[in-house]
Structure 1
């Protein structure tokens, strides 16, 4: 099935896929690459658990939370 990220709205109100639960446990950099491939409208940012972030909502941003080993610890979602 072909997925057109530019034309399909997600549950967040943003275009394209907005959640990647299947990436929990994956390496952060690989997860970020997958996210950006599956939704080219977002920038996936790998970030260490406990790091302060802004609380504003943006349709073009996905935080990829990782532990000290670089493993994804939370479901990456558009935030």
Structure 2
């Protein structure tokens, strides 16, 4: 006669799918290894034309790759710590605070 093996039940853990796509907020606030605070968002450039906003962002983050995103354009959901997207309105002015990603 065969003995029954009781099933081992492991506790189920909920994983938020968004946590797999984006690093936690604040996790990139320091440059790796240096401990120096790093700016990750630029609310002060909202309302400026894209070229002026890019200049101000590059003052804080010289290696930033700036992408100007016109209204209604799609963007990828990947995270890139060297990229800053400027979402602009129809007049070419920054519509919302740009951030690293």
Note if contact 2:28-2:40 (Cα within 8 Å) is conserved in structure 1.
no
- Structure number with the bigger relative contact order (C-alpha 8 A, sep ≥ 6) is 1
Residue 80 of structure 2, aligned match among 58, 72, 79: 58
Aligned to 1:45: 67
Deviation at 1:21, TM superposition (A): 0.4
**Counterpart position of 2:7:** none
Stretches of structure 2 that go unaligned for 5 or more consecutive residues are: 1-24, 32-37
Kindly report structure 1 stretches of 4+ aligned residues shifted beyond 4 Å.
none
Return the TM-score normalized by structure 2: 0.62
**1:41 Cα offset (Å):** 2.9
Whose Rg is larger? Answer: 2
SS of 2:90's partner is coil
Distance between the aligned counterparts of 1:63 and 1:32, measured in 2? 10
**What does residue 13 of structure 1 align with?**
28
CA distance in 2, matches of 1:22, 1:43: 19
Deviating more after overlay: 10-19 vs 38-47: 10-19
Length-normalised TM-score, structure 1: 0.78
